[in-house]
Structure 1
């Protein structure tokens, strides 16, 4: 019997550690953004953001975390997977796990034929199932509070939201990509 650690176990432990650290950094970044808004009044986020619809709400996802957007394809169910894991499919020769964003928000529905898969960049192929992909927004303004000042959004309680942004179409939650990627682990 060898005392040599299993390389696949080490890789999995390291990946989980990196994902945890990324999640902590995103949470700190969101806290610092909120603090900046209260200090500066208006903060434009650099870069491009994809506007997506899920669970009757529009949200923003950093475009630099997106590899590609494809139409919904037939998914192979995963036995024993949590409800937010919609299944798997083969993306460019590799298996991809599909995380249903609406299910993460507690909304059960059957996606229609216009649904999309947002393929996220990362070591593993993870696709986010959304009802619709709208457009790109450049440098949205980070705002403090909720859109109407009082009612929390369903995104708030999920850990998916990094903040709120004002866009030409209105105030939208900013999605934390790491929270979706951690959701793909089946937690």
Structure 2
């Protein structure tokens, strides 16, 4: 099965995604996973966290882990990015994540026929989207586990 096929083998439907920028690169993530896009607030550092976690902030009463998305995706580092893409928690017990991004571009629809398999083996990457504006890397949202 490929990204262009639904589980039953039928052609997949278009998917709405949120496009964002990290440096000069463009990425997208399924819009259904996104709760909100906010300006970054002050954060507190946390001990014993992975290198891509830059701290935590309060978001609507929930502790939200701030992730240096560029570091997570292996394309540099920008722990001072000003925008936060907040993701739905899988359930009430799951961790809420906020990805730090340089800029949020737009919500758009991806036609499965414009998606190519990623040329690199990475569990975070769903594929590469061909668009009139160039290439956009489609990434998986955090699982909250």
TM-score (norm. length: structure 1): 0.62
Partners of 2:128 and 2:137 within 8 A in 1: yes
Structure ID, larger Rg: 1
> When you count helix as a share of all residues, which structure comes out higher?
1
State the distance in 2 between where 1:100 and 1:181 align: 16
> When you count strand as a share of all residues, which structure comes out higher?
2
Partner of 1:68: 36
2:143 is aligned with 1:181: yes
TM-score (norm. length: structure 2): 0.78
Q: Partner of 2:143: helix, strand, or coil?
A: helix
| Structure-2 change in CA distance of 1:145 and 1:119 (3 Å) | closer
State the distance in 2 between where 1:176 and 1:81 align: 21
Q: CA RMSD of the aligned region, Å? A: 2.3
Partner of 2:61: 93
Partners of 2:52 and 2:67 within 8 A in 1: yes
Partner of 1:33: 3
Partners of 2:127 and 2:137 within 8 A in 1: yes
Q: Partner of 1:102: helix, strand, or coil?
A: helix
For structure 1, the residue ranges without an aligned partner over 5 or more in a row are 1-30, 37-42, 147-151
Partners of 1:60 and 1:173 within 8 A in 2: yes
128, 131, 136: which one aligns with 2:99: 128
Deviations 1:128-164 (A, max 9, x none): 1111111111234433356xxxxx4xxx354211112
For structure 2, the residue ranges without an aligned partner over 5 or more in a row are 6-10
2:115 is aligned with 1:143: yes
